[in-house]
Structure 1
């Protein structure tokens, strides 16, 4: 059985993390991943306090296993953060899209662990200096907001950059099966963080069947950068955290506004309203259906437990085969 030091840090059975994919995570998905031996994550971005409270309470009803609650620095909400560290108290608080700064100490002071996602080696070094417990190195293949360096190049560089701190590194971006997990381990990572594969899971009810159909019929080249969205939901921050743009499956809406990206800033309020209304009405598949290039590897919708079992079995078989071939 594949078990890495990350499993001991997070108190999980398998080194598989479900990405927060806010606001599309549900308690059912998070608990299913955790109950299957991985670690589920609740995304707090674009969620109300009442909704987050409900998701946390329901998750705790459905699992006694560890789970994470995620923040994006660009949409940070102080009241929600206070609730998470003082009341919700998940084992892990995670963050992305910015420098977490003093948040790391506040999480540690609450007796919790801090996990941070980065897109560059420089960001990894910054996170290590802040004392984060786990780092996610997210390659440009990923869905949602992501950087410009591929996982194959980024992951081993981040592993090397924080080796002296002995911080476990998780690989993200372009991973959807056991081959991806095996490859991540070969690069020096201690686990994987997956979003798109879990969007295509039976428990991802907020995604909806139309979006899931898009994922399982997509090729990798259908997951494109949404260049105009930074003008609609600005991600720039005082720390110049780096150039990032979201990745999603191609839609008419995306193609139209990618062409008219110069106009997006002046139309930002209207576009923001259109996208947020679409989320509430379950029409994200018509607008910005976030997805990584790993969509090209996904051809079915499965329960989260089956996804994790398949990944672990395939990864173990690949590693056994590699060892056998190396010895022959």
Structure 2
């Protein structure tokens, strides 16, 4: 790696082309394998070859996988495996046996202590500003990251949540992190596996329009654990059911309505996962170019801070 920048393994949208482009750019590209769908992996894993021998990794939603899922992915020799949202213990041994770096994402101090005790090689400290799923009762990136850095030392920590330009990368380094894990910013790139309408919504969106909720997971019939909510842009079902999650969960007709509205094109097939820093996203560059831009911005920010 040339730059302390890693691609968040966003489920479904961080495909092989995006991961390869980030790695070619000098960062660490990571496939967003989610629950380890076989067809998706079979399609996306070969595309990582475009990384040209640069290191790459793969990330899973820990609550949604079993050991065989990880073992199949390890057959493709990723340099790193990232486990998020759930107990990583059942998978640590097979990741180490394959010689891959074990990265564990944490959303609170209990998870951070567990990652340290497990012997994680790298820990990702995710603040609540992040897009997509995160802790319902987590902490903001600015106070959370240095606490995890102190707790985990000398294990390197990556900061995640609300980082969308080089100033955010510089801030992560100033907090004591070894680098930054960047998600939403990489969704707005030419290689991301997102619908053009999603990329447009991110470029035009504002952080104040995002919020954490469980409504859309419930409406979609998703099995995400209740501990983790998702930060999204606005959505008709969020407006309709906000504050009435228990009622929604008990109303199968409402969930059927959601699927019908998706099928009819009345609502997008997926919510727009987006972090609070989307105000800083104004274009759709290639991911490799974006890594270079973030690195240059970070260097400039650190230089300016040093002069002050």
- Identify whether the pair has TM-score above 0.5, normalized to the shorter chain: yes
CA 1:268/1:78 → structure 2, altered by over 3 Å: closer, same or farther? Answer: farther
Q: Distance in 1 between matches of 2:257 and 2:63?
A: 18
Match of 1:95 among 67, 83, 88: 83
1:152 aligns with 2:142: yes
Question: What secondary structure, in the 3-state scheme, does the structure 2 residue paired with 1:102 have?
Answer: helix
Aligned twin of 2:190: 202
Residues 283/65 of structure 1: CA separation in 2 closer, same or farther (3 Å cut): farther
- What secondary structure, in the 3-state scheme, does the structure 1 residue paired with 2:190 have? coil
1:222 aligned residue = 209
Q: State whether residues 36 and 60 of structure 2, in contact with CA within 8 Å, keep that contact through their aligned partners in structure 1.
A: no
Superposed counterparts of 1:8-19, under 5 Å:
12-19=1-8
Of 270, 285, 301, the match for 1:302: 285
Change (3 A) 1:153 1:103: same
1:322 aligns with 2:305: yes
Q: Which residue of 1 aligns with 2:26?
A: 37
Query: Which whole-Å CA distance do the structure 2 matches of 1:64 and 1:141 have between them?
Result: 33
Q: Kindly tell me the number of residue pairs found equivalent between the two proteins.
A: 304
- Per-residue CA deviation, residues 150-184 of structure 1 (Å, 9 max, x unaligned), is 00011000001111xx1100000000001101111
Q: Distance in 2 between matches of 1:142 and 1:274?
A: 25
In 1: Cα distance, 2:256 partner to 2:53 partner: 37
Residue 130 in structure 1 maps to residue 118 in structure 2: yes
Say which SS state the counterpart of residue 299 (structure 1) adopts.
coil
Aligned mates of 1:14, 1:59 — CA distance in 2: 19
Which piece of structure 1 moves more, 62-71 or 124-133? 62-71
- The answer to whether 1:117 aligns with 2:105 is yes
Tell me, yes or no, if the aligned pair for 1:156 and 1:189 is still in contact at 8 Å. Answer: yes
For 1:276 and 1:46, the matched residues in 2 are separated by 24
Give the TM-score of the pair, scaled to structure 2: 0.91
RMSD of the alignment, in Å?
2.5
- Partners of 2:267 and 2:141 in 1: CA distance: 27
Q: Does 1:140 align with 2:123?
A: no
Give yes or no for contact 2:202–2:281 (8 Å, CA) kept in 1.
yes
Decide whether the 8 Å contact of 1:20 with 1:42 is kept in 2: yes
- Write the distance in 1 (CA, Å) between the matches of 2:45 and 2:248: 35
Aligned mates of 2:260, 2:181 — CA distance in 1 = 26
In structure 2, do the counterparts of structure 1 residues 149 and 133 end up closer, same or farther at CA, with 3 Å as the change threshold?
A: same
CA distance in 2, matches of 1:297, 1:283: 29
Distance 1:281 1:91, change over 3 A: farther
Shift of 1:120: 1.0
Q: Cα deviations across residues 133-159 of structure 1 (Å, max 9, x unaligned)?
A: 000000000011112200001100000
Provide the residue aligned with 2:168 in structure 1.
180
Question: What residue in structure 2 maps to residue 4 of structure 1?
Answer: none
Secondary structure class of the residue paired with 2:54: coil
- The answer on whether the counterparts of 1:251 and 1:286 sit within 8 Å (CA) in structure 2 is no
Q: Tell me how far 1:228 sits from its aligned partner.
A: 2.1
